Structures are given as structure tokens and as C-alpha cells.
């Protein structure tokens, strides 16, 4: 009886000495990408390094993405690649990538802001600039070659960025990432929309559509 009472008295001391901190979610991990990557990487250094690189790339891409709920999937942002054709001006035509500031470097005229525009709107903006003393009645065509990639992070075999395609869903993204790891909480997937001003992570079903720049995270199970 005395031993049982002694054990009961000692238990609270252990709890106080090593409190659990759930201030950053169930894992108690820092929001720092490196810390999350190290934990999710487990004992595999190569996977941990890949996840860390993917986390950092996703964070950088998110900072440069348009932050308006009215930005549609077809609107341009940093990382998108386009083919610009200026009719009758072969030396001004070619393939270009929208830079990290959202600008398109156009021969002769310099940088033109493309972030948040559709391809048709960018055509008009480039043509208007060319008509300001460079060409007469400029005709411009913009074709989107590749939209910026999306990111799949957390408990997938190959975390990283992947090309976006029409009608892409969460389960397609998981498949591109090599499938779930044994540690994954299958079906427990969060999505952060690139065009969400609040940058909130929300729990979504596997058939949810994803758009360019979105960040998908597969959570770890704890039992």
C-alpha cells in the first residue's frame, strides 16, 4: 500500500518535469520548414534532405504567388513559362519565364508586369507597350507552355514540386509523389491555396482539385 501511494505521489512530478507542448499542433514542432522536414524524414537522410529542399522551395513560391481570392487558375504568376509571338518580328519572339517579381522581360521594351493577368490580358499589355514608339499596330500572341508547379510535402515517398495539369486532384498529386509512406495518415491531407490571402491550411478529401502553386501536405499518423 505504501509503495502504491509513493508511486502516485511521484507521477505528477514526472508530468511537470517534462510537459508536452502542443502550441504548434499535435506534433509540437516548429513551423520552420527545416524542423518539419527533419521530423518527417525519419531515419532516411536523403529523404529528409529532399523534403527540406521541397519545404523551402514551396515557402519561396508561396511568397511570390498572387494573393487574391479572385485569381483564377489560368492567371499568370512567377514561374510560369510562356511563348510570345510578335507577328513579323522574329527577333522579339521566343520562350520566356515570368520572373520572381512577376515580370516578363520583353525585348526592346524591358520588363512588363504579368502577375495576375491572363494570357489574353498580357497580349494586350505587351502590344500597347510596343505601340509606344517601337512598332506600329503590333500583334502579339501569348501561349502558356507550363504553369508554375504545385508542391506535395509530408508523408509521401518523393516530396517535391511537380508540373500542374488540368483536372489535377489531390490523389493524383500523391501518386506523382510516389504514394503514401508507411507513416502516412492516409486521407488526412491538408491543402494551402496559393491564391488564399490568409495562407490557411485546410483538411481536404482526396478528390479535391488543385491549382498551380498549391501546397499539399500529407500528415503523419501517431499510432
* 45-64 vs 33-41: helix crossing angle, rounded to 10: 150
pLDDT digits (tens, 9 = 90+) for 131-141: 998 999 999 99
Give the span between the Cα atoms of 102 and 194, in whole angstroms. Answer: 14
Asked if residue 181 has pLDDT above 70, the reply is: yes
State the residue for C-alpha cell 518580328. 89
Residue (of 215, 221, 168) closest to 194 by Cα position: 215
Phi and psi torsions of 220, nearest 5°: -90, 140
Asked if residue 15 has pLDDT above 90, the reply is: no
Structural domains of the chain, ranges and CATH numbers in brackets: 30-67+148-220 (3.10.560.10), 81-146 (3.30.1950.10)
pLDDT of res. 36: 53
Query: How many Cβ atoms from other residues are within 10 Å of residue 221's Cβ?
Result: 14
Asked if residue 56 has pLDDT above 90, the reply is: no
Query: At CA 121, angle to CA 119 and CA 125, rounded to 5?
Result: 115
Q: How many residues are given for the chain?
A: 223
pLDDT tier for residue 20 given thresholds of 50, 70 and 90: very low
pLDDT of res. 29: 34
Residue 26, Cβ density class (10 Å: 0-12 exposed, 13-18 middle, ≥19 buried): exposed
pTM flag (> 0.95): no
Cα–Cα distances (Å) from 64 to 50, 148, 175, in that order, read 22, 11, 27
Asked if residue 69 has pLDDT above 90, the reply is: no
Residue (of 113, 105, 104, 117) closest to 76 by Cα position: 117
171-195 average pLDDT score:
89
Are 152 and 177 a contacting pair, CB within 8 Å? yes
Percentage of residues in the chain with pLDDT exceeding 90? 43
Percentage of residues in the chain with pLDDT exceeding 70? 75
Residue of 168 and 223 predicted with greater confidence: 168
pLDDT of res. 176: 94
What's the distance, Cα to Cα, between the start and end of the chain in Å? Answer: 34
Residue of 195 and 104 predicted with greater confidence: 104
pLDDT tier for residue 190 given thresholds of 50, 70 and 90: very high
Amino acid at each position: 500500500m505504501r509503495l502504491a501511494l509513493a508511486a502516485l505521489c511521484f507521477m505528477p512530478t514526472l508530468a511537470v518535469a517534462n510537459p508536452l507542448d502542443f502550441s504548434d499542433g499535435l506534433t509540437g514542432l516548429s513551423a520552420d520548414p527545416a524542423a518539419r522536414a527533419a521530423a518527417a524524414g525519419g531515419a532516411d537522410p536523403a529523404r529528409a534532405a529532399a523534403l527540406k529542399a521541397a519545404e523551402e522551395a514551396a515557402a519561396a513560391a508561396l511568397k511570390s504567388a498572387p494573393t487574391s481570392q479572385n485569381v483564377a487558375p489560368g492567371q499568370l504568376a512567377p514561374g510560369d513559362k510562356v511563348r510570345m509571338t510578335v507577328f513579323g518580328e522574329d527577333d522579339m519572339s521566343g520562350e520566356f519565364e515570368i520572373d520572381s517579381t512577376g515580370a516578363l522581360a520583353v525585348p526592346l521594351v524591358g520588363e512588363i508586369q504579368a502577375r495576375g493577368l491572363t494570357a489574353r490580358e498580357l497580349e494586350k499589355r505587351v502590344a500597347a507597350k510596343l505601340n509606344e514608339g517601337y512598332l506600329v499596330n503590333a500583334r502579339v500572341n501569348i501561349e502558356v507552355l507550363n504553369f508554375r508547379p504545385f508542391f506535395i510535402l509530408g508523408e509521401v515517398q518523393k516530396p517535391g514540386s511537380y508540373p500542374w495539369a488540368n483536372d489535377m486532384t489531390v490523389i493524383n498529386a500523391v501518386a506523382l509523389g510516389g504514394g503514401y509512406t508507411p507513416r502516412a495518415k492516409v486521407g488526412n491531407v491538408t491543402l494551402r491555396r496559393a491564391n488564399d490571402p490568409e495562407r490557411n491550411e485546410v483538411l481536404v478529401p482526396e478528390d479535391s482539385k488543385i491549382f498551380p502553386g498549391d501546397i499539399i501536405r500529407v500528415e503523419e499518423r501517431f499510432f
